[in-house]
C-alpha cells in the first residue's frame, strides 16, 4: 500500500507506536504534527472507545482535509472495575508522562494480590476521510500488571504489562515480536485488512 496516511493525535509517543504498528502491516502513516500546527481535539465525553476514536478521526480529517487515523485506547483492571478503561487518559491526566502513569497504576494496585493483577489493554482505531466515510477496528491483549517497570524496547504501559506466556513485559520484546501482539498492533492489522478489501 503506497498511500501516506495521517495519524490524528497530539501524543507523539502514541503516534510513533501506531506508525510502527501500521508499517508492520504495510501502511505508511505519520503524525499530522509533522506538517501542521497542533489541533485542539474535542474533549472526550463518552464511555465508548469507538465513539471517541471516530470523533477524533472525523474532526482531524475535516480540519486537515486528509484521511486521518485516530486511536482511543485504555487499560482495564478487573480488580479495579470502576477505574481506568475508556477513561484511562482522563483518570491519569492527558499530559501525564508514561512513567508517572505507570506509578499511578502501581499505587492503585498496591494492596491487590499478584494473582488478581490481571489486566487488559484495549485499542480502537478509526480511519476517517474528509467526506465523512469512516471505518474502525478494535483489539485487546490480556496479561498481568508486573511488580515493577522493566524493558527498553517500548514505553508507557508496555513496561508494566506482563505476559505469562513469554515471561516478559511487552517492553522486553523487540518490535518484530511485540507489534503483532499488542492491542494497537492487532487493531492495525484489522484496519489494514479492511482497507485492502475496500481496494478490491
User: Which one is catalytic: 72, 100, 158, 175?
Assistant: 72
Q: Evaluate the CA torsion angle 86, 92, 96, 101 in order and state its sign.
A: negative
Q: Any catalytic annotation for residue 72?
A: yes
Q: Evaluate the CA torsion angle 87, 171, 196, 129 in order and state its sign.
A: positive
Output the nine-digit C-alpha cell for 148.
Answer: 515493577
Q: Compute and round to an integer the Cα radius of gyration of the chain.
A: 17
Output the nine-digit C-alpha cell for 102.
Answer: 505507570
d(CA 107, CA 86): 19
Positions marked catalytic: 72
Amino acid at each position: 500500500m503506497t498511500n501516506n496516511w495521517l495519524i490524528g493525535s497530539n501524543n507523539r509517543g502514541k503516534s510513533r507506536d501506531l506508525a510502527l504498528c501500521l508499517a508492520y502491516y504495510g501502511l505508511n502513516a505519520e503524525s499530522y504534527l509533522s506538517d501542521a500546527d497542533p489541533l485542539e481535539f474535542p474533549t472526550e465525553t463518552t464511555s465508548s472507545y469507538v465513539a471517541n476514536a471516530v470523533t477524533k478521526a472525523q474532526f482531524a480529517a475535516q480540519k486537515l482535509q486528509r484521511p486521518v487515523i485516530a486511536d482511543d485506547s485504555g487499560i482495564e483492571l478487573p480488580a479495579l472495575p470502576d477505574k481506568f478503561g475508556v477513561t484511562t487518559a482522563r483518570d491519569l491526566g492527558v499530559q501525564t508522562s508514561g512513567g508517572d502513569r505507570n506509578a499511578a497504576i502501581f499505587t492503585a494496585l498496591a494492596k491487590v494480590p499478584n494473582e488478581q493483577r490481571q489486566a487488559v489493554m484495549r485499542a480502537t482505531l478509526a480511519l476517517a476521510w474528509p467526506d465523512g466515510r469512516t471505518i474502525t477496528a478494535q483489539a485487546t491483549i490480556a496479561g498481568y500488571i508486573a511488580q515493577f517497570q522493566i524493558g527498553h524496547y517500548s514505553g508507557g504501559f508496555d513496561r508494566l504489562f506482563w505476559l505469562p506466556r513469554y515471561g516478559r513485559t511487552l517492553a522486553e520484546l523487540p518490535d518484530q515480536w511485540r507489534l503483532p501482539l499488542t492491542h494497537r498492533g492487532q487493531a492495525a492489522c484489522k484496519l489494514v485488512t479492511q482497507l485492502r478489501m475496500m481496494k478490491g
